[in-house]
Amino acid sequence: MASHIILPKEEEEEEEVEEGLGVAVEADHDSPEPPRYRHLQPAQKALPFSATCVRISRDSYPNLRALRNASATSLRDDDAAFAKLDEGDYGYVLDDVQHLTDYLPELPTFPNPLQDHPAYSTVKQYFVNADDTVPEKVVVQKNSPRGVHFRRAGPRQRVYFEPEDVKACIVTCGGLCPGLNTVIRELVCGLSHMYNVNDVFGIQNGYKGFYSSNYLPMTPKSVNDIHKRGGTVLGSSRGGHDTHKIVDNIQDRGINQVYIIGGDGTQKGAYEIFKEIRRRGLKVAVAGIPKTIDNDIAVIDKSFGFDTAVEEAQRAIDAAHVEASSAENGIGLVKLMGRYSGFIAMYATLASRDVDCCLIPESPFYLEGEGGLFEYIERRLKENNHMVIVVAEGAGQDLIAKSIPVADQLDASGNKLLLDVGLWLTHKIKDHCKSKKMEMTIKYIDPTYMIRAIPSNASDNVYCTLLAHSAIHGAMAGYSFTVGMVNGRHAYIPFHRVTSTRNKVKITDRMWARLLSSTNQPSFLSKEDIMEAREAERLANRLPVPAGSSEHTKKHSASVLSNEASGDVQGAPTLTLSQLHQPATAVTVPAPPPSATAGTASVTVIDPDDDSGATGPREETPERETGTWQEAEETGRTRDERPMQPETPERMAPPPGNALHARADETAAQAAQDVDAFKPDDG
């Protein structure tokens, strides 16, 4: 059964009469094909998302998490009013972007100027079909649902702006990144050469530049060579975002296309600007181009400038390797960018092949004791006489906070100011070697600003060009969005999808396993990690709450479920202890409980094929209720191939009121005993 997004009967009938809810999405004017989706977003009145429920079958369980990410976990407060979820056959879901006609339904359209452009006259099927979408997940199984899709980027046959009426502005915000000038250049040249737009202005020094009286006129001639320089010709800054003042200036100056280049904080600001523009009913398209050297923007494959950053980071690693190998017991320590995500450190380590240890924020480590960093350093120096350590700037911040108590401070963008893990680790290694009376030489290299201030390489230049052109096509077609590459295809992504979470290194993924294989470093599991793993395993093994359970047990389960829906750690994917020891092992997340609520969103999960008394969906992989994972591997049979256990009265009967809690207490006590047994000799 495909997933269906439905309304309660009485509300559905009322909305269809008053707002036309349930009418199919209007296709682009050039499309001869009938529309394929039902549109759930009224033109004037926002859909009350709290009244929405999701009916989902057992086979479409993998789509549940995607739906939650697209709605329940990210749609809070007024965000629900801007949700556009369209559904189709076989579990297809389109997470659509906002369009001018959502609040200005009577806008006229115009032929796309590219129809008469000599460069595109020989290109067949150049215009994007109205039904073209890009899947968020490309690896699927035979019977799994198609999942969440995004609208494909590219030119439409009809546009909502006359070229002579367009007044566009471009702004860059946040830190520097390779490729900023390339994006600026291609926005200016693309608007001019493809759509004959003459009025393009640059907003200087970030969001606060909107308050300035002087906008910088930009022409193809003025930006011709800027892609050969690092940084941004417009200047950049953090903070300075005042939504009402910014929109006031946009309205006063007659700007109708806004191109915003920046990271997740900047994209949040772009989303606020769009919401205020929509509230005022302005004919303005807002296009966000995500930028972060850390590569931590959600949904997209990668952010521009990342390839250049990894390439430049290798130069620092090469220098550290030369220094380390030229001294007795030499250590080269390189700190790379990565506040919350260690992608630069991981990819630079894999590309270099000279690194002996890589430390990132996603993978905790500890210094002393058995299996700690110091023990590994001693062993590596004895074996090889030198070593290279790469550490991301966000790694080990919890360890630094314990040794150097300091109040949390924030920068202008609201990011926590990090302590220098490179300097701290350098001193710690020196002190340890001195206490062990080991001769050692350590060289610390911090190439942070060298990496981000250089021009983009050839690969990033091409990527920046495609991002800029995709943004132009979308804005001319009347969309407001964030643009990015998803599974190799450029797509228009709703703002809330790229700002609701961060992209992080998955230490259970094969890429991290490849790194561990390359460096031969241990997993650095501490006793706290053991406790967390035991607790995660207990939660993973918990039973669905049967009918007739005590009121206390039901309230407890509802509390756990609420935490899951709100993104609490208990609702995150959980790992067993053995899986933490084996980073390359594929991990299957256990089925979540039956219903969840987050903010104003309400999602009810109904499995019509499940008669066990629990309403939660089931995994497509072997479940614990019908045998252990080891049994499944030994027999070679999946859940669907194994005979189901009969529903005996004992099996169906609910446990006593406090049975689940007693079982949890026993598990916690056993976990404490395991931790005591594991306790290292030192610290």
Give me the DSSP letters along 124-152: TT-SPPTT-EEES-----TTS--EEEEEE
Q: Residue written as tokens 């926002």?
A: 46
* Token pair for 4: 């269906």
Same domain, 250 and 371: no
Q: Are residues 391 and 328 in the same domain?
A: yes
Do 461 and 418 have their domain in common?
no
The domain that holds 295 is classified in CATH as 3.40.50.450
Do 234 and 373 lie in one domain? The reply is: no
User: What pLDDT is recorded for position 332?
Assistant: 96
Compute CA distances 552 → 548, 657, 661, whole Å. 11, 8, 10
pLDDT value, residue 582: 43
- Based on the fold, state whether residues 549 and 669 are members of the same structural domain: yes
Residue 13 lies in a domain: no
How do strand 167-172 and strand 257-262 relate by DSSP bridges?
Answer: parallel
Q: How far apart are CA 328 and CA 347, in angstroms?
A: 28
Catalytically annotated residues: 294
In this structure, the answer to whether residues 330 and 407 fall within a common structural domain is yes
Are 445 and 460 members of one domain?
Answer: no
426 with 495, same domain?
A: no
CA distance 269 to 65: 27
What local confidence, expressed as pLDDT, does residue 523 receive? 82
Supply 619's token pair.
Answer: 């995994």
Residues 533 and 673 reside in one and the same domain: yes
Residue 461's domain comprises 162-302+455-466+476-484+491-499
Q: Which residues are annotated as a binding site for Mg(2+)?
A: 264
Distance of alpha carbon 299 from its chain centroid, rounded? 5
Asked if the structure places residue 22 within a domain, the reply is no
Please report whether residue 542 resides in a domain. yes
285 and 355 inside one domain: no
Which residue reads 């004037």 in tokens?
44
- Asked whether 292 and 180 are in contact (CB, 8 A), the reply is no
Q: What is the pLDDT of residue 145?
A: 84
Task: Tell me what pLDDT residue 409 has.
Answer: 66
* 277 inside domain: yes
DSSP string, 464-533: HHHHHHHHHHHHHTTEEEEEEEETTEEEEE-HHHHHSSB----TTSHHHHHHHHHH-------HHHHHHH
CATH number at residue 432: 3.40.50.460
Q: Is residue 18 part of a domain?
A: no
- What is the pLDDT at residue 240? 77
Domain-located, residue 30: no
pLDDT at 193: 95
* 78-84-87 Cα angle (round to 5): 140
- Are 570 and 596 within one domain? yes
Q: How much is the CA Rg of the chain, to the nearest whole Å?
A: 27
Domains of the chain: total: 3
Regions in the chain scoring below 50 on pLDDT = 1-74, 533, 537, 540-661, 663-664, 671, 674-683
**Does residue 611 belong to any structural domain of this protein?**
yes
Does residue 39 lie in a domain region? no
Strand 441-445 and strand 330-336: pairing?
parallel
Q: Say yes or no: 448 and 593 in one domain.
A: no
Residues 479, 98 contacting (CB under 8 angstroms): yes
Binding-site members for ATP are 175, 238-239, 263-266
Tokens representing residue 100 in the block: 């001018």
Query: Which has the closest alpha carbon to 629: 536, 532, 509, 537?
Result: 537
Binding residues: 175, 238-239, 263-266, 292-294, 337-339, 393, 449-452
- What pLDDT, on the 0 to 100 scale, is given for residue 564? 41
What pLDDT does 612 receive?
A: 38
